Structure 1
Amino acid sequence: MYLDFYHFNEMPFSLTPNTEFFCALAPHNEALKVILSALSMAEGFIKVTGEVGTGKTLLCRKLINHLNDKFVACYLPNPYLSPDELRMAFAKELGVDTEQEGVRQNLHNAIEAQLLMLKKENRQAVLIIDEAQSLSWDALEMLRLFSNLETEKSKLLQIVLFGQPELDHNLSNPKVRQIRQRISFSYTLRTMSSQEVAYYIGHRLTMAGGSESIIPQSVRNVIALATKGTPRLVNIVCHKMLLRAYGQGKERASWFHMLSAVADTEDCKNRLLPNTRTIYLSIFLIAVFLSFNVYKGAL
């Protein structure tokens, strides 16, 4: 690959949600502050929604790494669970010895006992569920039962749901209105602005050990237009650009490489159809501007 050619220590635009590459942009910073503020108040459900590719899983893992010893994070990345499977997965994350005799038959009581023990230690359990839009109705009802676990003064458990916009649709159903009414804090992740895309690309290039100049600013602006600021699509397009530039032995990616990468990325190509003229006009103006500067320099 192009790691050595561009002097990278690791792949700058990998799709793996690596928290070391977390970019402190406004959407994710604000979401993290909302969650941490809600957790400090120790009550209710917390919900974070966002379109596909906006960085929910990365934010989810960043949250887990950010929590201090006061919290016990129980992370469930797979929501395709029956109520019994959900209860078992939560118990294991919580540290309940599920192999102990009689525990499985009284798992709910064992979970409550573990939560009470943590509360006595002045620690707060937090159940974090990724891709929560895929939770079944029965699993949502199980979460409601979990949320009922409390002392006279406070909840024994806080629940953070990360999901796509379909989660909002699911929670609008009357059959889960009790959960909807318990959501005390919510945040909707937006896509990145053009300026944020430019900063994001530079951040990932330098975090990987490379130079920001590998992808010029003018190219980043068109990437923002093509991807509509969706982080996952930005990663995909930039990775393909670097592959093409490396294949030609170029030290910097150009808008030719960018156009080729966009044309090879289904979502970007489809999104570009209404804006094709705008993009080509932008590229034409950039080319004219560069040509004018070269001509002016020659004089």
Structure 2
Amino acid sequence: MANDYLAFFNLQQDPFRMPPDPFYFYPAERHNEILSSLNFAIEQKEGFFLATGEPGTGKTTILKVFIEHWNDRAEIALIMTPRLNPEEFLAAVLDDLKVPLSGNNKHDMIKEFRSFLLRTTAADRRVILIVDEAQNLPDETLEELRLLSNLETEKEKLIQIVLLGQPEFRERIMHSSLRQLNQRISVRSSLAPLSYQETVDYIQYRLMKSGATAILFDEAAKKSIYAYSGGIPRLINLSASRAMMAAFVDGSRQVRGKHADQAILHLQDAPHPAAKRFSRGAIAAVAAGVMMAGLVGIAGFRLNLSGHPGGAPSSPATAQTASQPAVETASTGSPQTLVIAAGKANLRVEPAMDARIAARADQGERFVITGWKDGDDDHAWYRISHSDGRELWVRADKVIKILDRKHP
């Protein structure tokens, strides 16, 4: 089904898949500036580089492009889970760099590390330590990081340290207890969301990289996506992907404003943390667009993107407590179906994130809805009928619902 979805739009691959991919790196002005600054800091053997930005603004994608650029000329340690104490952090760094150890105590570890740095520098290779989500580092580990930066010769630094984090990290290191670390950061950059024109170019750029030969999104769709995403690439990808799925279900090879609005209304049922900072006015405008689209109607079928298959939330009489939400059963009328909108969706035996995964579904697969439930984990869930006869559960934010079974 995923191949059918891509073929429908004449695409070779999914243009808005969520994992950061250097292939899709869009060289926006601010992103290019940060990448250039980062490369300059490594070339000049500056001690610390700091880049901050809101979640979803592209830090990880820039990081992957940077690593690709330096991979053949440097030894790189990448720490993605920085909630480590100093000893654990040092061990993780040495392990990532494949530094051989002759002892387990810290003195021996530092000694071996310095020898490794000297050998690598003599071979004209850089040693780069990258810490993603640096705002999660404990204070004592930040101090350990500062001490590692003391490993140097009289002429040059032996290790370059790159810190990526959210904006609060920049404020945190201003505290007096971290002033020595703060003083050592020689290059600082911050990521900002894309402008409206950059958002439009970003959407078209990713489509072209995926094989598109025509403009798939009309102006109304682009405006709705920008109003929802605020120019944050992760939210652009999320809303654009769901809008394309809505157009696919509609049988339309152009993604129109009504498709983007329908997708955004669905995403508002399971909002992304970064989306909360946008104005109520923008969301109200999107909702108004959906109401107009509803008056026009969609030939052949209707899309429903509310929190319940019937299109309206449960009445007070049927509402359940958060601790014991009831399973609602689909009506006995025309069967309601759903389409998997995410690239992959887990189908679980119970409506909970810790429930066993019984199967996986690809983007574009359809299932009949047999019930739904508001889960204990703040997610809404659909019970669906699987092709093997089992009834399984899928999270509501992974799907688009259809009220009848007429398909394009």
Give 2:278's match in structure 1, choosing from 261, 271, 279: 271
Give the structure with the higher percent strand.
2
The one-letter amino acid of 1:121's match is: A
CA shift for structure 1 position 180: 0.2
- 1:94-143 Cα offsets, whole Å, 9 max, x none, are 22124xx4255511111111001111112221101111111111110110
CA shift for structure 1 position 274: 2.4
Question: Is the Cα contact below 8 Å between 2:261 and 2:287 reproduced in 1?
Answer: no
Secondary structure of 1:38's match? helix
Give 1:95's match in structure 2, choosing from 93, 98, 116: 98
The one-letter amino acid of 2:212's match is: G
- Return the alpha-carbon distance in structure 1 between the equivalents of residues 261 and 279 of structure 2: 11
Secondary structure of 2:34's match? helix
Does residue 20 of structure 1 match 2:27?
no
The one-letter amino acid of 2:111's match is: N
- Return the alpha-carbon distance in structure 2 between the equivalents of residues 281 and 131 of structure 1: 38
Gaps of 5+ in 2: 292-408
- Return the alpha-carbon distance in structure 1 between the equivalents of residues 277 and 149 of structure 2: 43
Does residue 76 of structure 1 match 2:83?
no
- Return the alpha-carbon distance in structure 1 between the equivalents of residues 125 and 100 of structure 2: 19
Question: Is the Cα contact below 8 Å between 1:202 and 1:212 reproduced in 2?
Answer: no
The one-letter amino acid of 2:261's match is: L
Aligned partner of 1:147 in structure 2 is 149
- 1:211-238 Cα offsets, whole Å, 9 max, x none, are 4421123421332222110101100100
CA 1:109/1:84 → structure 2, altered by over 3 Å: closer, same or farther?
same
Give 1:107's match in structure 2, choosing from 106, 109, 115: 109
Aligned partner of 2:372 in structure 1 is none
The one-letter amino acid of 1:102's match is: G
Aligned partner of 1:214 in structure 2 is 216
Give 1:135's match in structure 2, choosing from 134, 137, 147: 137
Question: Is the Cα contact below 8 Å between 1:94 and 1:114 reproduced in 2?
Answer: no
Superposition map of 1:209-248 within 5 A: 209-248=211-250
CA shift for structure 1 position 29: 0.5
- 1:237-258 Cα offsets, whole Å, 9 max, x none, are 0011011111111111110011
Question: Is the Cα contact below 8 Å between 1:194 and 1:229 reproduced in 2?
Answer: yes
**Please, what is the CA RMSD of the aligned residues?**
2.2
Question: Is the Cα contact below 8 Å between 2:34 and 2:189 reproduced in 1?
Answer: yes
Secondary structure of 2:19's match? coil
- Return the alpha-carbon distance in structure 2 between the equivalents of residues 199 and 235 of structure 1: 13
Question: Is the Cα contact below 8 Å between 2:81 and 2:132 reproduced in 1?
Answer: yes
Gaps of 5+ in 1: 285-299
Give 2:158's match in structure 1, choosing from 134, 143, 156: 156
Aligned partner of 2:175 in structure 1 is 173
Secondary structure of 2:8's match? coil
CA shift for structure 1 position 272: 4.5
TM-score, structure 2 as length reference? 0.65
Q: What percent identity do the matched residue pairs reach?
A: 33
CA shift for structure 1 position 7: 2.3
TM-score, structure 1 as length reference? 0.88
- 1:145-189 Cα offsets, whole Å, 9 max, x none, are 110000011111110001101211221121111110000000000
> Aligned pairs, how many?
283
